[in-house]
């Protein structure tokens, strides 16, 4: 670790500008990926590599300035998790588009509060904790490797950037072939029926998901694959066997309808209980975080160190920024509630209660997500589960309030309260997502001897830039693709609609709670299955080195099967590379740990490139589609073939996936 007293430039104007440019890129990428498949990626590592390459054009750059840029960029990328909830307002028909000011304010207020809540958690969960912070440590290693004063071999400099660019080009080209030219399929499914029971054998070809699976690892990949088996190998066949299929409906349409309306509720129950279990296991660090928070705000002795590397934002700054953010949050809630034209007392009651719930629940989940990010990494942290718990908690509060005031006796009020619960939950998710990512960045900063308060300022700047970028990107993607159940134009191709799986789940839960129509039997089955999964995972952890994370199983059950299978392919690549490295080390008497570190670094960078490349092409194609449709053209303006090419496209997609996987393995083992 560098001498903490060394005076180096850190928070610079050029760094802020460069960080803003990278912020726009990764925020747009994450918004697209999250809406398409229900997952976002941690952008710290690719942001560190890109900023490292860009800073070479300037004299006097250093590792601390590089760290500030990746900190700023990754915070905005994390804020994109707001899309897990906010699109639900369009999908339920309450919004007809994304209001620029309200959407930006929700993102900004939630993001800044997430930063403020993560300040006191830094001492408890970063400095005084043994949590591994995999992505934070990896980002620190990349920063060190790319800076001469870290004494790394010159030959390694620039290699990370090459891997990122190669992965991005490969994934971007395939995405263009599938979503633009239509020359390749993005997946293949085989449907089979045994009697009246229907099965599906799916395979997704998304390169971005393969990259995400590599980062998730074999444990999470196997757990998600188990979820797919429980969904399409057990639940769907069982339910289709119990319910007669209409004669004019295909087996694929019938099974998919069963999965959407019933099996996904089982997945929701599993997600809820798995996330609740996660929070229960985190009570101790949460209490520690609250204790440290109070000591900082009171300015207690020893809460602040004079050392540069241990100087957080001052208690007065935290208090003032928090107070200002809460005031802006109140104004944002008032803007939303005032549209319902309620009596002033009722409106202000809802505004204040919504703000209070967002603040208090957000503080609790900040500690939970910060701990989980330190344990398994930001990409694998259960933001979706936090969203489920948030919508359940917030909805129950507003149901009680609405019933107490006799306001839930007509459809219009029920729709408003449902929308308000979703709006409130979006703030909580923004807080959770930022805390989830920020502590990874603060871990990176601690390892490279950065100044914490300067990182925290960069995090705030990143959140504000992300809040400006997210609303127009959401509007662009909505007008280009639409969401399932919410299409901006009647003539759009529903098969191209963005899935937005978490937002769909939010609607299902919230509307079901308010209308008393929620299929609790399926949710309770999911809860029971989740409890069994928790017990099995605990027994495995006690007696073996194997794990089956319950939340990963639940996500495999809930997400479209093509997503989980593609993630499993990436996880399988990760396992294979580790196994080959172990065999190579034994055969050549080489240090296995060093081999694995080098291999994983290159694999991580290539995987990050796959994610970035596909996501960016998705955003570019969205712009092309919007321009085409806006001028009266097709919603597939780049298509080179028609529907008759569909079967051939599947084989091209499969061959492309295999070729990419071989390249992935070769690049990683080359280390």
Q: Using CA atoms in the order 338, 341, 345, 347, what is the torsion angle rounded to 10 degrees?
A: -40
pLDDT of the residue at 2: 45
Long-range contact list for 631-638, CB < 8 A, 24+ apart?
635/480, 635/492, 635/493, 635/496, 636/182, 636/493, 636/496, 638/176, 638/180, 638/181, 638/182
The Cα–Cα gap between 118 and 75 comes to: 12
The Cα–Cα gap between 353 and 339 comes to: 17
pLDDT of the residue at 663: 94
pLDDT of the residue at 405: 80
Q: How many domains does the chain have?
A: 1
- Look at residue 371 and tell me if it is in a domain: yes
The Cα–Cα gap between 30 and 671 comes to: 29
Kindly report the pTM of this predicted structure.
Answer: 0.73
The residue segments making up the domain with residue 35 are: 13-163+334-496
- Look at residue 268 and tell me if it is in a domain: no
| Encoded tokens for 71 | 């900190």
Residue 394: is it exposed, middle or buried by C-beta count within 10 angstroms (0-12/13-18/19+)?
buried
For 38: left if phi > 0, alpha if psi spans -120 to 50, otherwise beta; the answer is left
pLDDT of the residue at 631: 67
Query: How far apart, in Å, are the Cα atoms of 162 and each of 169, 215, 597?
Result: 10, 19, 18
pLDDT of the residue at 32: 76
- Look at residue 456 and tell me if it is in a domain: yes
Residues sharing a CB contact under 8 Å with residue 163, sequence separation 6 or more, in sequence order: 602, 605, 606, 609, 667
- Look at residue 147 and tell me if it is in a domain: yes
- Look at residue 319 and tell me if it is in a domain: no
Weakly modelled stretches of the chain, pLDDT under 50: 1-4, 150-157, 300-305
pLDDT of the residue at 561: 87
pLDDT of the residue at 174: 94
pLDDT of the residue at 113: 93
Q: What would the pLDDT profile of 474-525 be if each residue is shown by its tens digit?
A: 888 888 888 877 788 777 766 667 777 778 878 888 888 887 777 778 889 9
- Look at residue 397 and tell me if it is in a domain: yes
- Look at residue 168 and tell me if it is in a domain: no
- Look at residue 109 and tell me if it is in a domain: yes
Helix 501-515 crosses helix 411-447 at what angle (to 10 degrees)?
Answer: 140
């Amino acid at each position: 670790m560098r001498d903490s007293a060394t005076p180096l430039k850190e928070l610079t104007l050029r760094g802020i500008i460069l960080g803003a440019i990278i912020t726009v890129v990764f925020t747009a990428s994450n918004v697209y990926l999250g809406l398409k498949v229900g997952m976002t990626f941690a952008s710290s590592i690719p942001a560190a590599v890109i900023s490292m390459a860009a800073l070479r054009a300037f004299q006097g750059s250093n590792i601390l300035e590089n760290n500030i840029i990746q900190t700023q960029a990754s915070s905005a990328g994390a804020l994109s998790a707001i899309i897990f909830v906010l699109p639900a307002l369009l999908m339920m028909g309450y919004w007809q588009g994304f209001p620029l000011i309200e959407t930006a304010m929700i993102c900004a207020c939630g993001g800044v509060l997430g930063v403020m809540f993560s300040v006191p958690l830094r001492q408890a969960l970063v400095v005084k904790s043994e949590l591994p912070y995999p992505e934070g440590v990896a980002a620190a290693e990349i920063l060190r490797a790319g800076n001469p004063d870290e004494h790394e071999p010159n030959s390694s400099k620039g290699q990370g950037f090459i891997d990122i660019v190669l992965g991005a080009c490969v994934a971007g080209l395939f995405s263009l072939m599938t979503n633009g030219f239509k020359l390749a399929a993005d997946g293949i499914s085989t449907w089979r029926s045994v009697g009246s029971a229907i099965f599906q054998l799916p395979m997704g070809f998304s390169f971005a998901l393969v990259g995400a699976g590599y980062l998730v690892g074999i444990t999470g990949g196997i757990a998600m694959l188990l979820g797919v088996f429980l969904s399409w190998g057990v639940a769907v066949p069982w339910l289709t066997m119990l319910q007669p299929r209409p004669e004019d409906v295909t087996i694929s349409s019938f099974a998919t309808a069963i999965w959407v309306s019933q099996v996904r509720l089982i997945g929701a129950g599993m997600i809820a209980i798995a996330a609740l279990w996660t929070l229960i296991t985190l009570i101790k660090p949460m209490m520690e975080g609250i204790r440290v928070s109070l000591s900082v705000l009171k300015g207690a002795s020893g809460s602040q160190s004079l050392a540069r590397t241990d100087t957080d934002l001052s208690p007065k700054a935290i208090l003032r920024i928090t107070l200002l953010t809460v005031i802006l949050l109140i104004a944002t809630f008032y803007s939303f509630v005032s549209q319902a034209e309620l009596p002033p007392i009722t409106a202000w009651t809802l505004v204040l209660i919504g703000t209070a719930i967002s603040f208090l629940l957000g503080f609790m989940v900040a500690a939970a997500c910060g701990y989980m990010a330190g344990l398994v990494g930001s990409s694998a942290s259960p933001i979706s589960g936090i969203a489920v718990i948030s919508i359940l908690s917030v909805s129950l509060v507003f149901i009680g309030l609405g019933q107490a005031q006799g306001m839930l006796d007509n459809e219009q009020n029920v729709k408003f309260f449902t929308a308000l619960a979703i709006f409130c939950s979006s703030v909580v998710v923004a807080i959770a997502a930022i805390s989830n990512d920020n502590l990874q960045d603060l871990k990176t900063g601690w390892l490279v001897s950065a100044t914490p308060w300067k990182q925290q300022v960069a995090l705030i700047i990143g959140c504000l830039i992300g809040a400006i970028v997210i609303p127009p990107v959401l509007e662009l993607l909505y007008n280009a693709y639409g969401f399932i159940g919410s299409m901006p134009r009647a003539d759009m191709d529903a098969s191209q609609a963005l899935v937005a799986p978490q937002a769909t789940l939010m609607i299902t839960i919230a509307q079901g709670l308010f209308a008393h129509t929620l299929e609790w039997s399926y949710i309770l089955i999911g809860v029971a299955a989740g409890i069994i999964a928790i017990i099995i995972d605990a027994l495995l952890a006690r007696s073996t080195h194997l794990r089956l994370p319950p939340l990963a199983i639940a996500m495999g059950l809930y997400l479209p099967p093509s997503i989980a299978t593609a993630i499993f392919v990436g996880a399988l690549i990760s396992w294979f590379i580790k196994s080959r490295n172990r065999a190579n080390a034994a055969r050549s008497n080489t240090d296995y740990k060093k081999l694995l570190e080098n291999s994983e670094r290159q694999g991580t960078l290539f995987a990050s490139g796959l994610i970035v490349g596909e996501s960016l092409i998705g955003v570019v194609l969205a712009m092309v589609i919007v321009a085409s449709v806006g001028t009266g053209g097709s919603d597939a303006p780049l298509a080179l073939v028609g529907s008759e090419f569909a079967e051939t496209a599947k084989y091209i997609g499969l061959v492309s996936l295999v070729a990419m996987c071989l390249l992935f393995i070769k690049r990683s083992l080359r280390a």
